[in-house]
Structure 1
Amino acid sequence: MSSSSPVTINGHATPAFDIFSSLRYDPELPKLASQHPEHFPEPLNSPYYLLAHHRDRLINAARYFEWKKAFEEGPAWMKGDLNSLQEFLDSRIPDRHRPWRLKLVVHRSGHAWCEIAEAGPIDPLNFMVPGSGARSDPSPWRVFVDSKATFPSGFTAHKTTARDDYTDARLRSGITTPTQTDEVLIINNNGEVMEGSITTPYFRRRGGSSWVTPPLKCGGNAGTTRRYALAQGFCTEQVITVSDLVDGEECWLSNGVRGFIRAVVVLK
């Protein structure tokens, strides 16, 4: 796919889009990583959650969409320089003593910018895979199943601003604000779970003690916390169909801003 070619999603023309990754700045992260170095990837001294994974996600998306200018004329971190990415983000943090939600955006021209919003406090242990230490979990989120299938494409495999399918799925499930502690599972045409609208889901399969997450072949996004959870051995990949889900079953959700979230499936 050429960056100058028309862009289509589900057979429909789509306006120009950007690629992005959402991550968290938290001053507690370096201390947590130093106390549990076996549970965190490098760099351990970074206040940015899974920083290298976010860089890699943006690079992989730019490669997929063949955004040549993003590499040739973009920032040094689009060529892999992690130090330059941290410096770029550091220059945009208004108060280093508080947590922040960052949306790191890259245009096909190579222009990059960062949108910042306040982030509420989270137990630092929630940034580690479940079972890594005692944690103070709030009430579980509710997880619904979308009533309409979504067609897998490069726009579901990579994080882009062309997110109408995700917005529509959330609205169909009654999720109208970002502060709701609710999530909806995105389903492909085969009735397989692809991912959540803003999270990666994990389910415990019947007859087993381990957790599983949908494989990328189902059409979902290669999320940063998903990569982290797989590397830590918290989960393996397994196709999950809607018929596999059980009303009231416990599950986990994760993303690069909130870490790992306890949840429960709601089918009725």
Structure 2
Amino acid sequence: MSQDNFALLETILYEPSKGFYLLDRHVDRLLKGVQDFHTQFKTIPTMDQIKTLLKETIPQDDSFKRVRLLFNDKDGLKVEYTDLGKEYRTYETLAEAIQGDNALKVMLDTEAIPCSASDPFITHKTTYRTLYNEARERMGCHHDGKVFDVILWNKQQCITESSIANIAIQTEGGDSWITPSLQCGLLPGVFRDKLLSSDENMIEGVITLNDLINAQKNGNPIVCFNSVRKVYRVQLIILE
């Protein structure tokens, strides 16, 4: 996949009892991507077209589904999905997540992201994922399954995101959470926006490499989140 041959992408959770999770936010973000990449697209889908296609394509049954909504000029709107089963479980709040199951193991990338914070392939979700795939390959995320994900950071040694999610750490004292600001260079995640607009005491800020390492060493919870997995706790594996 090249920068000249990509599709805008939204990954959406279908919940049997609620339908498409955070659908309006996902569609708004995709349509913003169409506007921002205006030279790449000759047509613009409408909110109604997107919602109709999803409802006509995805079986409205009792199984959770991971839905991929894609758009480019060549193929137009396209929908794919993976069945997640009937017992798919997620945590919607930070408090639930840090009391939940065992943390998934993550590692810091060994290299800073090579592009600017305003790179459109960072600030928009697309099928052009070379940066993320290379980071996952470096840290062995594709191999034995011991490392679930990789944490990215910029040239200023500030944390940005993981390869599939946004990230936050709990502050000392446990009264609030910090997630990297958009100025650090990351995807404005749909679930991230939900947390920031809720009463979860999460604020945007700067998390340095040392901040993340010290959070793990001091036992301060670290979480990642996206709109399919929602919130889940992670454990940073520190290489001495």
The TM-score with structure 2 as length reference comes to 0.86
* Structure 1 residue matching 2:16: 3-state secondary structure: coil
Q: Distance in 2 between the 1:87 and 1:178 partners?
A: 40
Instruction: Return 224-233 or 91-100, whichever deviates more.
Output: 91-100
Q: Distance in 2 between the 1:168 and 1:217 partners?
A: 22
Mapped pair 1:20 → 2:9:
yes
Q: Distance in 1 between the 2:168 and 2:112 partners?
A: 20
Q: 1:54 aligns with which of 14, 26, 32?
A: 26
Mapped pair 1:123 → 2:95:
no
Mapped pair 1:236 → 2:203:
yes
* Structure 2 residue matching 1:62: 3-state secondary structure: helix
Q: Distance in 2 between the 1:136 and 1:18 partners?
A: 37
Q: 1:265 aligns with which of 226, 236, 239?
A: 236
* Structure 2 residue matching 1:254: 3-state secondary structure: strand
Q: Distance in 2 between the 1:113 and 1:130 partners?
A: 33
Alpha-carbon displacement from aligned partner over 1:25-79 (angstroms, at most 9, x marks no partner): 1113x3xxxxxxxxxxxxxxxx111111111110121111115746xx34321xx
1:262, distance to aligned residue in structure 2 (A):
1.4
Alpha-carbon displacement from aligned partner over 1:116-166 (angstroms, at most 9, x marks no partner): 112243335x1x2223x6998221111211111112311111111110110
Paired residues, what number? 229
1:86, distance to aligned residue in structure 2 (A):
3.0
Q: Distance in 2 between the 1:177 and 1:50 partners?
A: 32
Decide whether aligned partners of structure 1 residues 106 and 93 sit closer, same or farther in structure 2, where only a CA change above 3 A counts: same
Q: Distance in 2 between the 1:171 and 1:26 partners?
A: 31
What is the CA RMSD across the aligned residues, in angstroms? Answer: 2.5
Q: Distance in 1 between the 2:97 and 2:132 partners?
A: 33
Decide whether aligned partners of structure 1 residues 181 and 231 sit closer, same or farther in structure 2, where only a CA change above 3 A counts: farther
Alpha-carbon displacement from aligned partner over 1:163-209 (angstroms, at most 9, x marks no partner): 01100111111100697771211111111111110011011123552
Q: Distance in 2 between the 1:108 and 1:102 partners?
A: 20
Could you tell me whether the CA contact under 8 Å between 2:171 and 2:177 is conserved in 1?
Answer: yes
1:8 counterpart residue number: none
Decide whether aligned partners of structure 1 residues 108 and 236 sit closer, same or farther in structure 2, where only a CA change above 3 A counts: farther
Could you tell me whether the CA contact under 8 Å between 1:74 and 1:110 is conserved in 2?
Answer: no
Instruction: Return 218-227 or 148-157, whichever deviates more.
Output: 148-157
Matches within 5 A, 1:95-114: 96-108=61-73, 111-114=76-79
Please, which runs of 5 or more residues in structure 1 have no aligned partner?
1-12, 31-46
Q: Distance in 2 between the 1:242 and 1:97 partners?
A: 42
Please, which runs of 5 or more residues in structure 2 have no aligned partner?
none
Percentage of pairs with the same residue: 27
Could you tell me whether the CA contact under 8 Å between 2:98 and 2:233 is conserved in 1?
Answer: no
Mapped pair 1:145 → 2:108:
yes
Question: Bigger relative contact order, structure 1 or 2, given CA contacts below 8 A and separation 6+?
Answer: 2
Could you tell me whether the CA contact under 8 Å between 1:75 and 1:110 is conserved in 2?
Answer: no
The TM-score with structure 1 as length reference comes to 0.77
Q: Distance in 2 between the 1:180 and 1:88 partners?
A: 38
Could you tell me whether the CA contact under 8 Å between 2:150 and 2:162 is conserved in 1?
Answer: yes
> What amino acid is aligned across from residue 63 of structure 1 in structure 2?
Q
